[in-house]
Structure 1
Amino acid sequence: MRSNFQKTSSYDFLISRNQHDDSYCLYRFDPDAEELFSLLPLSADASFDHSYQIAQVGGYLLQWSPLCEQDGKPSYHFNLLTFNPNSPDPLNGKILQSGYWEKKKFWGYRDYYSSNPDEGQNLDLIPMSSFVLNMIPAKGRGTYELWNFDPQPNLPGNADPIPYPYTGQGGFPLIKEGHTLIPIGNYVLDRLPDRKRFRLWSFDPQLHPALSLPAVQEGYWDEIDERHELTAIGDHILDWNPEEGTYRLWRFDPNHADVLIDPIREGKLPAGIGTDTKLTGYQPRIPVQKQQADRPGSTDFMRSKIRHVVYYMVESRSFDNVCGWLYEKGDRDCHYIGSQEPFDGASFENFNFDRDRKVHVSQFKDGKLSDQWNLIALDQDPFHDTTDNLQQMFAEPPGYWGRAKPDMGGFILNNANPQVMETFSPEQLPVLNGLARHFGISDRWFCSIPGGTDVNRAFSVTGSAFNKLGTWEGGNAYKYWPDSPHRQSIWKVLWSQGITDWKIYNSVLWEDYIFTYQLYLKGQIPTVDANPTEFMADIEQFKKDALDGNLPAFSYLEPAWIAPAGATSYHPGGDLVPAETALNEIYEAIKNGPGWDETLLVVTFDKNNGIYDHVSPPYAKKPWPNDLNNGFAYDLMGPRVPTIMVSPWIKEQSVFRAEGDVPFDSTSFAATLLEWFGVPKPLWGLGDRMDIAPTFERVFQASEPRKTAPTLTPPYDKSFPKESNNA
């Protein structure tokens, strides 16, 4: 059974602390090395108060004391520091934040929750990616509260890194006194008091409680008992017996009934690890591997050559509809990456039925431009909710619930409009197709879900649809959306790692708000919410930043959904000339700026919007184990959409596909971005679909950046004649 995570990086570490004095050791931990534990040199006087607890939260090490008194109040002292494994004394590294938490922050108005009045002597904090889970176990029930983690990296001092609860306090009767909670990736391994039985919980920050019911797995270990300690490191569990001085290293797989499977290593513990030892794993950001940095197609090559990633998600077109005629169907003259199958484009032979009449794929106005008509093929917005998409993809039973292969035969049946079979030629969309031809395009990139705007855009930046269907982009549902807890976004993951070099650029406000910020980020990072203008700007500022060489590491671009001069989102019902013009302006700003050789522009579409595509989408990994809404389990991708990569490090006429059985969808962008930033996968906390998403670093096949870049000319039509487009 395949693990959800990448193998543990050789840049993982194990902190070994003596519980009777303040000494500690640090080991490099590498399952692929001859020696699993490699002792690192520390200064002779390296020490740390053994009464403190430590845990990795995001990209930092959180330290906190037992109950003490500060200004006459029961409190816990805390430090948040940057952990540097190359330091001679890493547990006393550079402190980012330091201060005191009053006990009542966690206990509220109660003195205690159990029959033990001393329960507050030690504070139990469980790190969960970009959150901290507080548990107060008792014999009757466990009391929990989920706290938002905000390291405030741009405001060092005495700020509280867990400033307020993300979800309110509540009870969890299945986790009680004597349980040991071990966080690992998107899960919490719950070791019961007899230390042989276990439950595996899915961590879901938008739920109350955040450990989602029912348990994902529940069972009994034959080979692990009360003599064994368990420590999570990456996607492995170190099972160690301090009395015997032995260990086994297990692979963690939440899909397997035993959870811990296939011990990949076993042997003797280092001499310094014994009955007085407490072990803590730590995963820093992964550095670029120099030996791989010059190998085109590797992650390290991308990380060494690309300094700026620009993501432009437009909307509502299928692959066949706007890029299906880029190459002749079956064309083998392209530079294929991932597989050597010929280009899978549109064909006039493909059809749907309109009652008893076959309606074949056609080209709008025979694929021609003219000042006699507008570049608008669809006179209405096709239906595109999940129920609509499922009918479009499954015209015949048994359909989705029978796990049939999508037949792609119900587009006209659902829409009652044969226009969904029309397509555009490269002549009509010369910017979109020009970028695809001169750089790279994937013909195996799917919507993340059969459905609409909000759920697919959610997948691209959070790894799921929040267990929702449909849209909530208007009215009170949209206005008050940030007031409720939701699954975290890629921006929160980056922020928790101390990565603040990013910006969202919007073209217009949507109902008085920046759409992406309102739906997928607001409410997650208190520091950003206090000063959002530092991380938001308009699209004109993006062009200026690109031309001036001031782009952040990660730029997220929004199109104009609705505008007097025309929508730039490619949405059906609108003229496509403004969309092509806007895309060309973005490309020109990057191309003519000083950072062209170091920039990747990703152009993609959120969904197919009910428009025909002939390729059957595959079934997929559920993003969260317990996700289910109206019978839909989020385990099926939607139809193909174009995704284009633009960089001088990409060979002309590249057509790229994922290797293996899992194709690209929008989670592939987020997964590639996080790997590009060097964030270890077990720290993402973005769900299971994201963890197995294929990444696209192989698109960078040029050993040197290309010296020239094409100049493209936007199209024209009746409303936007040649003169207005400088054509």
Structure 2
Amino acid sequence: MSARSLVLLGLLALAAAAPPSHNNEGEWQHEDEAKGSWKSKIKNVVVLVEENRSFDSFCGGFNYRNDIDGLVGKTFCNPVNASIPGSPTVCAKPIANDVAPDDPPHGLSGVNYQIFGTFHPPSNADMSMEKMNGFVTEQATTFKSGGNATRAAEAINYYAPEHLRVFEALAKEYVLFDKWYAAVPGPTNPNRAYLTAGTSHGHGRNDADFTTFNIPVRSIFQQLSEKGISWINYSNTTGFLPDADFYTWTKTSGASTTNVKPLSQFYTDAEAGTLPKFTYINPECCSYQSFHPPSATTEGEAFVKKIYEALRSDPQWEETLFILTFDEHGGFGDHVPPPVNVPAGDDLTYSEKAPDGKNITFDFKRLGMRVPTLLISPFVEKMGLEHKGQNYGKEYTHTSILHFLANLWDLDILTPRVGWSSTFEHLIGKTARKDTLRTLPDAYPF
């Protein structure tokens, strides 16, 4: 075969391997993953993990695209008492309050009930068994609303788009995921552990091990240090440890002193263009920055605006990928059943006693509810929308971030869950946009 024929065959093979271009308006060209040149675009990754909101509660009212899987044009209702056939129902409305009157249940038992209508789903439960009808019942039972269905319905109510000016502006400017799932159908710290280490080491609640450097697993922070890649966990936590400080290694290595900094330092470093390769941000929780009740939505929006505008003004902006997500749904309603039968991070299980006095054992093989997630960079398309994952396990979840970072910086795959999770490098385009917003709208004045 001639040299020219060999070259042509090689070009054809490359063309076949390249993912198809996609653009809502016929202009955007996605990066060619086969060439790996997307890695040259992203030098710095920033991750901000907010608190306790489901996709429907935040994005259910978004209507700037008709293919967002929210609540526009849908009816999402829950019975007041899911255990009683024929119980009166209430339906979600776009009237969510700036400050939620209650903090809905979001422990493992409560989430089981929200998804399945029972604390004890079968071990072989599939998605057809996920009724998504227990949110209002759990809210009413936990807070003893005395039959006040209007108050209990706050668990499934959602925001009108004009009430989320900051988040909607970012969604319209960059890429919104409408099928991004929390890693665990449970509370904050197990999800944050999965997001930073690919496992919670068998922890299913916010127990004391998370406040005493007592999670003995290898995290992304340890990985980066071993690889010589700079990182800082900027934190404004009060009453909780920053996520990097969950881990025994962070304390014994001294990284808790050298690599965990106050949030004020983030703004200084962003202005100077000296952010590390990996920036991880913990908001304050739970009074004014995190969206976690009783945090006001307006104050959470103001915080996100401040973080974004600091990054947008950063000299490193054109090399930065900013991922904004939420640790878990916080007990707020969502109509989409989460995936089941997924790989766990390890072989450990977690047990707790349900309100009915019976034990629940969880093997971490089900994902949590959808949470709002944005991919923000001059290299992603305007008004982008990503549904299911395109590779690996074909689902996006918190450990997708770890898998993406492993691909970006040639890191080990930390756990089976990480290796299964879909990555999103195909969303990184060939050229940087020059029209990205420098400032965002002010938060809505409720």
TM-score (norm 1): 0.51
1:690/1:504 CA distance change after superposition, 3 Å: same
Q: Which residue of 2 aligns with 1:191?
A: none
- What is the number of equivalent residue pairs in this alignment? 387
Deviations 1:253-284 (A, max 9, x none): xxxxxxxxxxxxxxxxxxxxxxxxxxxxxxxx
2:71 to 333, 340, 346: 346
1:193-204 correspondence runs (5 A): none
Q: Which residue of 1 aligns with 2:357?
A: none
Task: Give the AA of the match of 1:705.
Answer: A
Q: Does 1:363 align with 2:90?
A: no
CA distance in 2, matches of 1:583, 1:488: 29
1:258-297 correspondence runs (5 A): 296=31
Match of 1:505, SS state, is strand
1:693 to 406, 412, 421: 421
Task: Give the AA of the match of 1:576.
Answer: T
Task: Give the AA of the match of 1:709.
Answer: T
Whether the 8 Å contact between 2:62 and 2:68 is mirrored in structure 1 is no
Q: Does 1:554 align with 2:281?
A: no
RMSD: 2.3
Q: Which residue of 2 aligns with 1:126?
A: none
Q: Which has the higher contact order (CA 8 A, sep 6+)?
A: 2
1:639-658 correspondence runs (5 A): 639-657=369-387, 658=389
Q: Does 1:627 align with 2:372?
A: no
Q: How far apart are residue 328 of structure 1 and its match?
A: 5.8
Q: How far apart are residue 412 of structure 1 and its match?
A: 1.0
Task: Give the AA of the match of 2:377.
Answer: S
Q: Does 1:471 align with 2:206?
A: yes
Q: Which residue of 2 aligns with 1:618?
A: 339
Deviations 1:480-509 (A, max 9, x none): x32x4612111112222233x111101244
CA distance in 2, matches of 1:397, 1:571: 24
Match of 1:618, SS state, is coil
1:287-326 correspondence runs (5 A): 296=31, 298=33, 300-326=36-62
Q: Which has the higher strand share?
A: 1
Q: How far apart are residue 693 of structure 1 and its match?
A: 1.4
1:588/1:625 CA distance change after superposition, 3 Å: closer
1:401 to 123, 128, 134: 123
Q: How far apart are residue 327 of structure 1 and its match?
A: 2.5
Q: How far apart are residue 592 of structure 1 and its match?
A: 1.2
Whether the 8 Å contact between 1:392 and 1:409 is mirrored in structure 2 is yes
1:537/1:617 CA distance change after superposition, 3 Å: same
Whether the 8 Å contact between 1:650 and 1:700 is mirrored in structure 2 is yes
Q: How far apart are residue 343 of structure 1 and its match?
A: 2.1
Q: Which residue of 2 aligns with 1:543?
A: 267
Deviations 1:593-649 (A, max 9, x none): 211111111000000011100000011433245222232111000110011011111
2:239 to 499, 510, 525: 510
Task: Give the AA of the match of 2:259.
Answer: F
Q: Which residue of 1 aligns with 2:315?
A: 594
The runs of 5 or more residues in structure 1 that have no matched partner are 1-293, 332-341, 366-373, 719-727
Q: How far apart are residue 454 of structure 1 and its match?
A: 0.7
2:183 to 448, 451, 464: 448
Q: How far apart are residue 414 of structure 1 and its match?
A: 1.6
Deviations 1:425-476 (A, max 9, x none): 2211111111111101100100111000010001000101211211125xxx
Deviations 1:322-367 (A, max 9, x none): 11222367x1xxxxxxxxxx321124511111132221110116xx
Q: Does 1:583 align with 2:269?
A: no
Q: How far apart are residue 656 of structure 1 and its match?
A: 1.5
Q: Which residue of 1 aligns with 2:431?
A: 704
Q: Which has the higher helix share?
A: 2
Q: Does 1:605 align with 2:334?
A: no
> Bigger radius of gyration, 1 or 2?
1
1:297/1:577 CA distance change after superposition, 3 Å: farther
Whether the 8 Å contact between 2:174 and 2:377 is mirrored in structure 1 is yes
Q: Does 1:672 align with 2:396?
A: no
CA distance in 1, matches of 2:32, 2:169: 23
1:70-85 correspondence runs (5 A): none
Deviations 1:15-61 (A, max 9, x none): xxxxxxxxxxxxxxxxxxxxxxxxxxxxxxxxxxxxxxxxxxxxxxx
1:468/1:536 CA distance change after superposition, 3 Å: closer
Q: How far apart are residue 396 of structure 1 and its match?
A: 6.1
Q: Which residue of 2 aligns with 1:418?
A: 153
CA distance in 1, matches of 2:33, 2:238: 38
CA distance in 2, matches of 1:508, 1:491: 18
Task: Give the AA of the match of 2:298.
Answer: V
Match of 1:436, SS state, is helix
Q: How far apart are residue 399 of structure 1 and its match?
A: 3.0
1:624/1:396 CA distance change after superposition, 3 Å: closer
Q: Which residue of 1 aligns with 2:354?
A: none
CA distance in 2, matches of 1:492, 1:705: 31
Task: Give the AA of the match of 2:77.
Answer: F
Task: Give the AA of the match of 2:243.
Answer: T
Deviations 1:666-720 (A, max 9, x none): 00011111211122xxx33x2211121111111213x3211122231122436xx
Match of 1:589, SS state, is helix
CA distance in 2, matches of 1:504, 1:414: 35
1:297/1:388 CA distance change after superposition, 3 Å: farther
Q: How far apart are residue 535 of structure 1 and its match?
A: 1.1
CA distance in 2, matches of 1:542, 1:696: 26
CA distance in 1, matches of 2:249, 2:118: 43
Deviations 1:536-559 (A, max 9, x none): 222222122112111110000011
Whether the 8 Å contact between 1:432 and 1:580 is mirrored in structure 2 is yes
Whether the 8 Å contact between 2:132 and 2:337 is mirrored in structure 1 is yes
CA distance in 2, matches of 1:295, 1:641: 25
Task: Give the AA of the match of 1:434.
Answer: A
1:478/1:617 CA distance change after superposition, 3 Å: closer
The runs of 5 or more residues in structure 2 that have no matched partner are 1-28, 82-86, 141-151, 352-360
TM-score (norm 2): 0.81
Match of 1:327, SS state, is coil
